[in-house]
């Protein structure tokens, strides 16, 4: 970095990426549990797959973020999808291979993939 202009350009780029990650109140949020249990179960590749799939499809109203412990370690990796005006959907035992189906059906078309949700996987 050799000038104030270069520093300002770096700052502006960082601000833009922060805005992309934070989204706005009207955006769909995909949140991946990234506590130690989630990471050990493979959450990082799932997070990366969501980021890549959203970028590949050019979805501007979708943010992908990470969170800490969601509290159901036996179901990791866990992904929560928040669509404004709808109930949260919690996907469990996720893998990167599941991501295109979740994005296509739930994020793009509004149809949650029920068989991959916590309700479909919960056994007494």
Residue-level pLDDT at 119: 82
Domains belonging to the chain, first-starting first, are 24-121 (3.40.30.10)
Gap between the Cα atoms of 55 and 6, Å rounded = 26
pLDDT value of residue 12: 76
Is 83's pLDDT higher than 70?
yes
Express each pLDDT in 13-37 by its tens digit.
Answer: 776 655 444 445 679 999 999 999 9
Look up the pTM and report it: 0.78
What is the dihedral angle through the alpha carbons of 101, 102, 104, 110, rounded to the nearest 10 degrees?
A: 140
Residue bearing tokens 């739930």: 106
pLDDT tens per residue across span 29-69: 999 999 999 999 999 999 999 999 999 999 999 999 999 99
């Amino acid at each position: 970095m050799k000038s104030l202009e270069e520093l300002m350009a770096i700052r502006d780029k960082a601000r833009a990426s922060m805005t992309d990650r934070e989204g706005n109140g009207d955006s769909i949020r995909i949140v991946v549990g990234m506590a130690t249990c989630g990471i050990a179960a493979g959450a990082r590749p799932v997070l990366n797959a969501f980021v890549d799939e959203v970028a590949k499809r050019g979805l501007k109203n979708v943010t992908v973020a990470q969170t800490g412990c969601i509290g159901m370690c036996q179901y990791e990796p866990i992904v929560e999808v928040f669509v404004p005006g709808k109930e949260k959907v919690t996907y469990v035992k996720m893998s990167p291979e599941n991501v295109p189906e979740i994005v296509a059906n739930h994020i793009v078309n509004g149809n949650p993939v029920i068989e991959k949700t916590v309700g479909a996987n919960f056994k007494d």
